[in-house]
Amino acid sequence: MNAIRLARTVTKCYSMRSYSMAPCEILELLEAGYQRLAESDSQSLLKKHLTKSIFDKLKTKVTPSYCSTLLDCIQSGLCNHDSAVGIYAPDPEAYKTFADIFDPIISDIHKGFGKANKHPASCYGYGADFPNLDPEQKYVVSTRVRCARSIQDFPFNPCLSEEDYRNLECMISKVLLTFCHEHSGKYLPLKGMDKEVQKKLIDNHYLFKEGDRFLQAANASRFWPTGRGIFMNRDRTFMVWVNEEDHIRVISMERGGDLGRAYERMIIGLESLAFSLKFSCDKRLGNLTFCPSNLGNTIRASVHIRLPHIGKDKAKLEELAGKHNLQVRGTSGEHSEAKDGVYDISNKRRMGLTEYQTIGEMHKGISALIEAECRESSKK
């Protein structure tokens, strides 16, 4: 822990950095952190793929524009041995400078998306192609679709200055406030937000939580709450998070199982943003995000779903979901437990396939889970 606290002070001022290789104090922290990770029983992808030879090859490197080091990429995983992934890109160049560790992790998360693979161009298609998953509302409580974008020419959280945060917030909220019809709404900055209002928004799953230790250890919560906020439409079905994990998260939500409608609303919002803002993209990796788990088309579609029969055995549910490339989480999402038998189930794949294909895979998988639940319940 001390080492990480020290790392935070050492890594504070990116704008003042100008070195061509990692300085001694960073190397010492890296060596000590690596040693502890190697001795731990961590199941993270970082531990799995960061061999000694890759570590030695990368430990002195820095990214060309921001001088980000290997420590900036992996300090969250070094601090949190219970990480699933354990690595973030402090700036867009990190994916290239530290490709020897990012590539195997990307391939592991995104089912074999390797060096020779190239993420396809966007294809949104039409939400109307996907019929309601559960018209009688027996299983699907709610549906949510989100995607992430980074603004070109800005680094990611750990390298942003306080002024960058303010500028990003200003640029993004200005565009959002021009939205009309279903998408028109208000921008609520986190700074100065009433605590009760904030709590309500979090409890209703509209707003991001505070104090994520994985992000904090990655140096991604500096100057909090400056520059962070949420845009919401009147119906509370369309939201945009500003400067949480990514510069932009576009979110669309529905009661019930109308995945196609939620998807269509998100795409319209995203395209309206793209009209005025330029996003960071890589020829091979697709849209660039802070966490490698979100690269590619960046889409995470999820349902809150009641599966009382097939959900009795979590391991079996996970196995069945896995067959359809779906992931099972607890009710409040990542790192949470299921409450009242309600699971959060989402697509796993977002690299190497288009947005439309990702939604198609999700639609097919959730339909299959509902069918399995029906079969199981009619047996009893």
Residue ranges that bind ligand ARG, judged by CB under 6 A: 76, 83-86, 214, 245, 291, 293-294, 334
Q: Is 145 assigned a ligand-binding role in the annotation? A: yes
- SS3 for 169? helix
- SS3 for 185? strand
- Using alpha carbons only, give the angle 119, 267, 238 rounded to the nearest 5 degrees: 130
In order of 56, 69, 290, the CA distances from 73 in angstroms are 15, 7, 10
Nearer to ligand ARG, 76 or 150 (CB): 76
Residue 337 Cβ vs ligand ARG, minimum distance, rounded to whole Å: 16
Q: Is 346 assigned a ligand-binding role in the annotation? A: no
Q: Is 18 assigned a ligand-binding role in the annotation? A: no
Q: Which residue has the tokens 């070094």?
A: 78
Nearer to ligand ARG, 83 or 233 (CB): 83
222's CB contacts (< 8 A; 6+ apart) are 12, 157, 158, 160, 162
Nearer to ligand ARG, 83 or 97 (CB): 83
Residue 8 Cβ vs ligand ARG, minimum distance, rounded to whole Å: 16
Nearer to ligand ARG, 143 or 293 (CB): 293
Q: Is 302 assigned a ligand-binding role in the annotation? A: yes
Q: Is 192 assigned a ligand-binding role in the annotation? A: no
Q: Which residue has the tokens 């306080």?
A: 162
Q: Is 42 assigned a ligand-binding role in the annotation? A: no
The whole-angstrom separation of Cα 2 and Cα 163 is 28
The whole-angstrom separation of Cα 276 and Cα 294 is 23
Q: How many helices (H) and strands (E) does the chain have?
A: 13, 10
Nearer to ligand ARG, 245 or 373 (CB): 245
Residue 80 Cβ vs ligand ARG, minimum distance, rounded to whole Å: 7
- By the 8 A CB rule, do 21 and 61 touch? yes
Residue 86 Cβ vs ligand ARG, minimum distance, rounded to whole Å: 5
Q: Is 205 assigned a ligand-binding role in the annotation? A: yes
Residue 354 Cβ vs ligand ARG, minimum distance, rounded to whole Å: 21
Residues of each annotated binding site for ATP: 142-146, 205, 249, 300-304, 329-334
Residues of each annotated binding site: 142-146, 205, 249, 300-304, 329-334
